[in-house]
């Protein structure tokens, strides 16, 4: 996977310089969406759950992000229902409606990456790309779908919805490259290897900064980890030192 992801990161450097964040996640191509829809249905019918998750999360994320498309999220609803996911986690309905909307919706938009950010053969996507004047960085991740229940709502009703999460069984990796070097070694670091039980809910775009003025760039990475009864947030700091990425 590394070589393919490296080429993906190199390809998108120019785009990161000239496009704003909204444009990065816009892929106005209805034929591509139809293709994802067909692949999602084929994967679900074949019982290939990992492929199903990949195509469904990409389709929903891209269609929701593309205001000009004629395709609809509802077009894939029946395909998703065939998987038969049952709620295995919950979150309190006492959170504000705005937060709950973000908590679920952010996991849809997160996978709305252009095709150049993906590796279909390995069902992987580069999330939250970022760069400064020296380094570029991305999070290589695999999607998984999970059904959640919102409990304790003001009206007393339990509401169910799907989350498009990041698989911990295929641990996400931080990959870093140097903009000023060619034929370089790409740095890799497995994120949070002690996490053996919980999916990741969301990654914020990493911040690259020399925090202590020692000449080495630090990566500040904030993310949420989903649990059976909610979530918790972490903020990790990595140091780029020569050919090493230190936690």
DSSP string, 105-138: HHHHHTT---GGGEEGGGTEEEEEEEE-SSEEEE
pLDDT at 9: 52
**What does pTM read for this prediction?**
0.84
Positions in the chain short of pLDDT 70: 1-28, 182-185, 242-243, 247
C-alpha distances (whole Å) from 83 to each of 41, 73, 147 are 10, 16, 11
d(Cα 191, Cα 174) in Å, to the nearest integer? 7
**pLDDT tens per residue, range 178-198:** 877 766 667 888 888 888 899
d(Cα 208, Cα 205) in Å, to the nearest integer? 10
Neighbours of 157 (CB within 10 A): 9
**pLDDT tens per residue, range 144-178:** 999 999 999 888 889 999 999 999 999 999 988 88
Rg over alpha carbons for the chain, rounded to the nearest Å, is: 19
pLDDT at 206: 93
pLDDT at 154: 86
pLDDT at 182: 63
d(Cα 30, Cα 43) in Å, to the nearest integer? 20
């Amino acid at each position: 996977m590394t070589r393919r992801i490296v080429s993906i990161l190199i390809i998108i450097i120019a785009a990161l310089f000239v496009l704003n964040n909204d444009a990065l996640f816009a892929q106005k191509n209805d034929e591509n969406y139809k293709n994802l829809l067909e692949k999602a249905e084929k994967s679900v019918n074949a019982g290939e759950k990992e492929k199903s998750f990949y195509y469904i999360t990409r389709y929903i994320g891209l269609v929701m992000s593309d205001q000009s498309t004629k395709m609809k999220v509802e077009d894939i609803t029946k395909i998703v229902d065939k998987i038969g996911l049952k709620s295995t986690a919950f979150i309190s309905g006492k959170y504000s409606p705005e937060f709950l909307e973000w908590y679920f919706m952010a996991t849809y938009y997160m996978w709305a990456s252009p095709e150049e950010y993906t590796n279909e053969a390995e069902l992987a996507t580069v999330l939250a790309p970022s760069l400064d004047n020296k380094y570029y960085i991305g999070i290589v991740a695999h999607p998984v779908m999970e059904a959640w229940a919102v409990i304790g709502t003001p009206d007393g009703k339990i509401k169910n919805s799907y989350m498009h999460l990041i698989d911990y069984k295929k641990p996400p990796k931080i990959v870093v490259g140097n903009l000023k070097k060619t034929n370089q070694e790409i740095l890799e670091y497995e994120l949070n290897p002690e996490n053996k039980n919980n999916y990741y809910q969301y990654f914020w775009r990493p911040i690259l900064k020399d925090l202590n003025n020692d000449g080495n760039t630090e990566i500040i990475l904030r993310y949420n980890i989903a649990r059976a009864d909610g979530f918790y947030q972490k903020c990790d700091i990595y140091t780029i030192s020569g050919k090493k990425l230190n936690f």
